[in-house]
Amino acid sequence: MSSENNITNTQRKKHPSKDSRPSQSQTTETAAVRRRRPSVNIGMIIFFIILVYLIINVIIALCKDSVSVVEVQNGSIVDNGYYTGIILRSEEVVYSKGSGYINFYVNNGDKVAKDGNVYMLAASDQSGDTASDFSGFDSSDYSDISRIISLYTANYSDSKYSDLYTFKYDLQNQISEALSNHNITALQNAGEEYESVASEKSGIISYTYDGMEGLTRDEITDDMFNSNNYEKQQIVSNQWIDSGEPAYKLITDDDWSIIIKLTPQQARNLSEQTSVTVRFSKDNVQTSADVEVFSNGEGNYACLTLTKYMVRYISDRYIDIEIIANSAEGLKIPASAVVEKDFYMIPSTYLVTDENTSESGFYKYTYDSNGDAHAEFYKTDIYANDGNYCYVDTSQFQVGDYVGKTDSDDLYRIAQTGQLTGVYNVNQGYAIFRIVEILYQNDEYCIVDKNTSYGVSLYDRIILNASSVSEDEIIY
């Protein structure tokens, strides 16, 4: 019986009863639960975190003002200015005291002495015999006419169509001079009746006038620089004139001036100069002129005073010129990169050198609870020293701090500030202020000194738009 029981028990262990096995429904339910339980995917979590980080950075970058960086380079600025000027002279229109056909003894641009004959008035018209007859012209006359034509063609430009009128007047003057000589000779040989008229003053003769002869620089307005409606009149040989009409113009001084209109920046640049080099666009003649910047309430202007070449442009009122400026060389940076920064100003007499370290700085005085003063040496970066004050960074002291001398009871309370000009250097990835000494500047660029302490060097990287960042801001 015992062995039977053991066999039976063994069989029961190997073959569990039907009731002890899980049912089909229980097995299905367990599998479903296992399918619903989510598995943790570490890779997806990391990908999601990176995606969120990138999205946030993109949003920040889109919302942040764009910051541009440029590299400091060697360069130069040559600020030649191009202007259209108004010519002023000591001039007056002389009116005829009689009527008749006028011919001239004196050529346009020539000098006449006091009581010297200027023109002839005749009762008869010589045009039928001489006005279209060029047989009396000599080689000199043809040479002068050829010179005027060559000068015009050599400088012709579609953008300067108004030069055509100047060419016309110059050519008319030259032909009128030759015809006058021919007419006067013909009248004298024919024994015709005529009257010679002399000048009451000495001066230089011109046969063009425009009504602006009495203009002064104080009367200049911005509207006058628009020459679109400008007109001038020309007196030609064998022309009938009545008594009281203009016979010629007399210029009584070789000195003359050109008034030009300036922008505020041009006015600042020229105000620092007493003389400039001027090149005339008409014929590339170059000369020097004294310069004076002035304002009459209408705008900013410059008066260029010249002592040469007045006769060369005696028939012109408006003239195109180029002012040749002195070029500046050094480190070239954009004007937009320049910024001003405040510094504490400490009298230079308080600057000391530490005996142990040979470093420059100041003795800062503090007071303990008993009111006793204690001096502590502060190594300080001196951004500039003008001989009177040292400029130190505002992060190194606070308003109300005292500095002094070890051998004196004299103390100085820090409070005064001053500005220095500089740029933001980003060589290390964040904005650091570096001072610059501007040698020359125009609207777009500055030339700065290469050897400025705490300044910039060749190939340094600086912020292009300095107003868009602040000091110590991380750029990249």
The C-alpha angle 177, 180, 185, rounded to 5 degrees, equals 135
pLDDT recorded at residue 357: 79
pLDDT recorded at residue 81: 86
pLDDT recorded at residue 13: 45
pLDDT recorded at residue 23: 56
pLDDT recorded at residue 327: 73
Q: Which residues contact 73 (CB under 8 A, 6 or more apart)?
A: 331, 332, 458, 459
pLDDT recorded at residue 390: 94
pLDDT recorded at residue 11: 45
pLDDT recorded at residue 438: 92
The C-alpha angle 189, 117, 200, rounded to 5 degrees, equals 160
pLDDT recorded at residue 118: 92
Distances (CA, A) of 212 to 86, 96, 168, 233, 303: 10, 19, 20, 11, 17
pLDDT recorded at residue 59: 78
Q: Which residues pair with 305 in a beta bridge?
A: 257, 290
> Which residues of the chain fall below pLDDT 50?
1-18, 128-132
For the stretch 24-52, pLDDT in tens is 555 555 555 555 555 667 888 888 889 88
Determine contact, residues 175/167, Cβ cutoff 8 Å.
Answer: no
